[in-house]
A = this chain, B = another copy of it.
Amino acid sequence: MSKEVGITVSKNENFSEWYTQVVLKAELADYAPVKGLIVLRPHGYAIWEAIKSSLDEKLKKSGHENGFMPILIPESLLSKEKTHFKGFNPEVFWVTHSGENELGERLALRPTSETLVNSLYSKWIKSWRDLPLKINFWNSALRAEIKATKPFLRTSEYLWQEGHTVHSTEEEAEQEVMDILEIYKKTIEEELAIPLITGKKSENEKFVGAVYTNTMEAIMPDGKGLQMGTSHFLGQNFAKPFEVKFLDKNNVENYGWQTSWGVSWRLIGAMIMVHGDDRGLVMPPKVASIQVVIVPIYYSGDDRKDIIAKADEAQKRLQEKKIRVRVDKRDELTPGFKFNEWEMKGIPLRIEIGPKDLAKNKVVLVRRDTQKKTDLQFDKIDTVVASTLDEIQKNLFDNAKKILKEKTTEVDDYEDFKTQLEKGMFLKAPWCGNQKCEEKIKNETGADIRVIPFNSENTESKCVICKSSSEVIVIFGRGY
């Protein structure tokens, strides 16, 4: 592979440029003609499909159904919940015309659908029999980005799912908020192989309109935090202005208790950053559209036929074990070119079959994560490939967990805090709970409270800023 085709910078030396090259050269995404927007190429979209399919199955099993909401929300509706509108207004795209005609009222491209959903839920819900109502929407959201675009991390339109639920009791709604966080955590840790810290957002950082926001935070190799998804307890903050009411078993009218929650294609960005290396993308086997690529190696037409036949046989054996596999039969490219291309595209495992392998009835197995090569008897191909994919999945998670541990440090002194932050660390620090201390840190260092981990109450230590009694130990860091 020529220099131009492959990744030309090192992940350690120029992380930002490395990321962009992986996105573009592994053909995950490309820039759209409108600034701030991206396009997903098939290799990138297939990863989103894998995440979507896994999450969708879990949501359906837990009683959620899918629906569709249109992308246009009238201004009067979006502005009905005031805090919410204030939060989103600066980044809303406004439709003012259809064809040559000016519209009577401006229409917003949905930045999120709480207002639209609730205007309908108030019609659909009449009695306790209609609850819980748990609907999820696989769509896109639009929020005009002023800062520099970063594919998957910061774009003006992004793919996501947004769930919106209504419950008859506060307890049930709060349980839903936690159940969803658990579903997300399972998907991200077990499939994307990215370890998380879960907990609450501070008042400053919570979703506009929520009572509180639960969040999942991951650390990236450059020491910055990435919010991986959120699950909000909305209380009755939307139910009241939108009149989402129900008659209970005693025929008494009550407001519903609500939640909303979402994860986006940002998860793909995290996957790239956490697992990728100088050769390009590394996909965890569970979300890889292709888990194994078979590269037949031949130098003459005679060899070709037999080797392709063996490769096809291997594919068949693996497919029977539900392993997603492709045979690369392109004649016009050298094996070396193919190796590099599939490595850059992050396929977890490569199988090489050449004339000598054929003679010995073996194949060569090459792991993407460790680059380790091993010879393998052909007869054992299905069991060994399956177990190797499991090992790769585990190895990627273990490595990511090690990084999270290494990059998290405890501090209780503000000078130490600043020193460690510059080294690209996540900081576990005591906080008094006062927004002024939080804001001081943000203004002076650019770090904010990424997450208040669950069960982090602590009254023994002193706030890292004001030295008054601490309420909790929180995670500070700079974020994406």
Q: Which A residues fall within an 8 A CB radius of B?
A: 30, 32-34, 37-42, 44-46, 48-49, 65-74, 77, 89-100, 106-107, 109, 116, 119-120, 123-124, 129, 135, 140, 142, 144, 156-157, 159, 330, 332
Report Cα–Cα, A49/B65, bound state, in Å.
11
* Copies per assembly: 2
Smallest Cβ distance from A331 to chain B, in angstroms? 10
Distance from A3 Cβ to chain B, minimum over Cβ atoms (Å): 17
Check if A98 sits within 8 Å of B92, measured CB to CB.
yes
The answer to whether B45 and A68 have CB atoms under 8 Å apart is yes
| Alpha-carbon distance A336/B90, docked complex (angstroms) | 53
Within the assembled complex, what's the spacing in Å between the Cα atoms of A244 and B129? 57
> What separation, in Å, do the CA atoms of A36 and B295 have in the docked complex?
53
The docked-state distance in angstroms from the alpha carbon of A39 to that of B70 is: 6
Q: Is the CB of B129 within 8 A of A332?
A: yes
List of B residues within 8 angstroms of A37 by Cβ: 70, 72
Docked complex Cα distance between A124 and B38 (Å): 14
Q: A68-B39, A68-B159, A157-B71 are in contact. Are A97 and B99 (CB under 8 A)?
A: no
Using A34-B70, A70-B38 as known contacts, say yes or no to A91 and B95 having CB atoms under 8 A apart: no
Contact A66/B94 with A32-B116, A33-B74, A71-B109 known, Cβ cut-off 8 Å: no
How far apart sit A67 and B45, CA to CA, in the bound complex (Å)? 5
Which B residues are CB-close (under 8 A) to A140? 70-71
Report B-chain residues with C-beta under 8 Å of the C-beta of A100: 90
- A27 nearest CB across to chain B (Å): 8
In the bound complex, residues from chain B placing their C-beta under 8 Å from that of A135 are 42
